[in-house]
Structure 1
Amino acid sequence: MKPIHTIDDVIIVLQDIINESIENKSPLGYFAALYQKVTIKVKEGIQNNYFDDNQRMEKLDVIFAKRYIDAYYGYKNNTPISSSWKKAFSISNNYWYIVLQHLLVGMNAHINLDLGIAAAVVSKEQNIQNLHNDFNKINEILSSLVNEVEDDLSKVYPFLKKILKLTRKVDDFLIDFSMELARNGAWSFAVELANTSESNYEKFIEKRDKIITEKADLIISPGLIPQLIFMIIRISERGTVAQKIEDLTN
């Protein structure tokens, strides 16, 4: 893996993961393709002075991205990674999960766990409240892309959103990615982590990781009827894994 020091380095490494996934026909590339979109939008925001502190935002983006990238290569090399990422990657070898499930289970680990950790790390020895406005802005970018992906997939599958609402659990999971709740949950975790003593730091992250791993089950195992419907959707999906990865990069 190439060294990662800047947001451009992140984009290059994500492209490596995308290329590898296309070559291996691996669904792991779905999240990488979406995440590269996120990173490019953040880079554009930095270039356009969208954030209060653009230099800090690039640093946060690198810390944030490295958590996903390290988890990806850790999974590939069979080294320890967070349980929420392990759960997200575990469905990559199962034919029956649809693209949206792959994306949401990855977002679950990255937004609900990694984003708070990155915010706490970038604010070390500073008042984390100074980051709050920029934290909200990056969440707005993340939320807009979640909606964009759902809308794109709904064009392919017109009844997808209705299907996702067949059970309240799945609906609640999707609602949890709305701007307000994703922002509040991840920010609360970031503030608590930033104010946690060094001796309890890792334990606090492990506790959060366990909660987020359990949340992943809402999308991986939404219940018999929704899963059967997802299976029907999966059979009707058009294109190869590689083609769907390329579609997500556009």
Structure 2
Amino acid sequence: MKNISQVLESLDEIINETEKENNVLGYFAVLYRRVTWKVKEAIENRHFDDAERMEKLDVVFAERYIVAYYNYKRNLPVARSWQKAFDLATNFWPITLQHLLIGMNAHINLDLGIAAAKVSEGKNIENLKADFNRINQILADLVEEVQHNLATIWPPLGYILKHTGQVDNLMTNFSMQLARDGAWRFAKTLHAPQGKSYKDCVLERDIAVAKVADIITNHPPRIRFLIGVVRLGELGSVASKMRKLKKITS
């Protein structure tokens, strides 16, 4: 892919495929298309210092997810953190929010740093930092948007999570500021490895990010029970939930 328009086309293909298959992997694809569209708008509105560099970053960033998705579908190896996200799709019990968070975990905590290092090859990576923070603000705004609107899939969800503190727990464990700062440090490590190979740095990071995925999915029995109640209340097909997510993110 050479530009964001091609990224959007690829994401549309994944969305159409998962919607037809009633595949929960479509939840993240819908959200990520919104992220990509927001970045495209920001580039067109001159929100970034270097529009050309940010389009390249967006393409490299998106390709990490798109390639991982198709490799998984073809039973080819994928990063550990993406394996966790994709494998969750075979489990009935995770709620929509968990599917979204585990996808964002792999994509932001692993892929974003790799993409940032890639577009900074042969350059001073510090020149990217301001735009890097701007793209992370776009991601953070969307996380909050989804957090407050997922109850359209099952209205009691908001009440249950609010009064058990579980929205705060989930979002604290997946702090956008921590994700941003960690991704930036990872990008700088890849840009100038200190005594380690690029491959070893990526592997070490991937293992750590995969452990974060466990925080999103593993809970004490009481919380598992509450999440189970929410899951049973998420009525409708995966395709119908995807359509609701499209409305949330449109």
Task: Report TM bin, short chain.
Answer: over 0.9
In the alignment, the residues of structure 2 paired with residue 30 and residue 215 of structure 1 have an alpha-carbon distance, to the nearest angstrom, of 20
1:82 & 1:244 partners in 2: Cα distance?
27
Unaligned segments of structure 1, at least 5 residues: none
Task: Note if contact 2:173-2:215 (Cα within 8 Å) is conserved in structure 1.
Answer: no
Q: TM-score, normalised by structure 1?
A: 0.93
Matched-pair contact (CA < 8 Å) for 1:82–1:209? yes
Residue 218 of structure 2 is matched in structure 1 by: 221
Give the percent of matched residue pairs that are identical in Structure 1 and Structure 2: 48
Task: Give the equivalent residue in structure 1 for 2:205.
Answer: 208
Task: Indicate if the aligned counterparts of 2:18 and 2:26 stay in contact, CA closer than 8 A.
Answer: yes
Which of these residues, 28, 31, 48, is aligned with residue 51 of structure 1?
48
- Tell me the TM-score normalized by structure 2: 0.93
User: Which residue identity is paired with 2:165?
Assistant: K
Q: Aligned-pair distance for 1:59?
A: 0.1
Q: CA deviation at 1:175?
A: 2.0
Instruction: Please name the residue that 1:147 is paired with.
Output: 144
**What is the correspondence of 1:8-19 to structure 2 with a 5 Å cutoff?**
8-19=5-16
> Where do 5+ consecutive residues of structure 2 fail to align?
none
For residues 204 and 164 of structure 1, what CA distance do their matches in structure 2 show?
38
- Is 1:128 matched with 2:136? no
Alpha-carbon offset, residue 225 of structure 1? 1.5
**Partner residue of 1:65 out of 50, 62, 67:** 62
Whether the 8 Å CA contact 2:125–2:191 is kept in 1: the answer is yes
Cα distance in 1 between the residues matched to 2:114 and 2:25: 23
- Please tell me the residue identity of whatever aligns with 2:33: Q
1:207-243 Cα shifts (integer Å, max 9, x gaps): 0000000110011112222111111101011321001
Instruction: Output the CA distance in 2 between the equivalents of 1:173 and 1:189.
Output: 23
Q: Give the Cα separation in 2 of the matches to 1:214 and 1:160.
A: 26
Match of 2:165 in 1: 165
Q: Aligned AA for 1:162?
A: K
CA distance in 1, matches of 2:122, 2:163: 46
TM-fit CA distance, 1:192: 1.3
2:25 is the alignment partner of 1:33: no
**Cα distance, 1:163 vs. partner?**
6.1
Contact 1:84/1:209 (<8 A) preserved: yes
Partner residue of 1:183 out of 180, 191, 198: 180
Give the conservation status (yes or no) of the 8 Å contact 2:173–2:216.
no
Give the letter aligned to residue 231 of structure 1: G
- Give the CA RMSD over aligned residues: 1.7
**CA gap 1:198/1:241 in 2 versus in 1, 3 angstroms:** farther
- The structure-2 alpha-carbon separation of the partners of 1:171 and 1:217, relative to structure 1 and needing over 3 Å to count, comes to farther
